[in-house]
Amino acid sequence: MAVFFTLMTFISTLCGGLIGLRYRDQMHLILGFTAGVLLAVVSFDILPEGINLIGKLNLNPQMFVIPLVAGFLFFHILEKTLLIHHVQEEEYGPHTHPTIGKISAIALSGHSFLDGLGIGFAFQVSPVVGIFVALAVISHDFSDGLNTVSLALIHRNPDKTAIKFLFLDAIAPVLGVLSTRFFTLPESLLLIYLGFFAGFILYIGASDILPQAHSKHSSMGTIFMTILGVFLIFVVTRVV
């Protein structure tokens, strides 16, 4: 049953990515939507989950907050030092580098792998818990596929590269579920992961994607799509 639901995440991720490829001419709207989705995932999904784990395990909140700041600073430092821009940063149009797009896509694939771990571990608890966790993952994996393609394309990667990373992101949850047959992950480590990933997502959503969306098409349409992305994830997290 866990594998079946994970295959549904594979399909959901592919659909999101293919839509991103098909409507690239409206990329500023897609980017605005993507930024809203990423910010909402942190606010309505990752942060509440982290808070719940802190209370459940009676852990120090710093175990969540410090990795969050570290995740934000890690990608910021990586972008500003290891991958030096060749143009002035105030021109957001050229604010791109193919390697950054690849690293971002790999990071999202890593998140999708851990989504699969979450599904596998949830089914180890009970089928009912597993089904609800799987439905939540399927709901936001559509956005994961869209985000993966968007990140690859805005950093000037070719279509073939975007598609490769889309398939990597789509297969990652399946591999995550299968791997849970061989090991278990302490919940305290999961809390650290959630914090680090939240910081990473905050950076790429607010400091990378959103400025790109408004660089050449600063319009009410882009703002509306950002709000729509936030609202969509808000509804999804309340429903599932």
Would you list the domain boundaries of the chain?
A: 2-239
Look at residue 58 in the predicted model and tell me its pLDDT. Answer: 92
Q: In this structure, is the dihedral angle defined by the CA atoms of residues 148, 16, 70 and 202, taken in order, positive or negative? A: positive
Closest CA relative to residue 151, chosen from 188, 108, 214, 114: 108
Look at residue 91 in the predicted model and tell me its pLDDT. Answer: 42
Look at residue 121 in the predicted model and tell me its pLDDT. Answer: 78
Over the chain (240 residues), the average pLDDT of each successive run of 10 is: 83 84 74 83 84 90 95 82 45 54 74 80 75 73 77 76 87 89 78 84 79 68 89 81
Cα 87 → chain centroid: 27
Look at residue 221 in the predicted model and tell me its pLDDT. Answer: 84
Look at residue 94 in the predicted model and tell me its pLDDT. Answer: 45
- Give the tokens for residue 126: 């009970």
Q: 71, exposed or middle or buried, with CB in 10 Å at 0-12, 13-18, 19+? A: buried
In sequence order, the 6+-apart residues with CB closer than 8 A to the CB of 240 are 132, 135, 136, 139
Amino acid making up residue 15: C
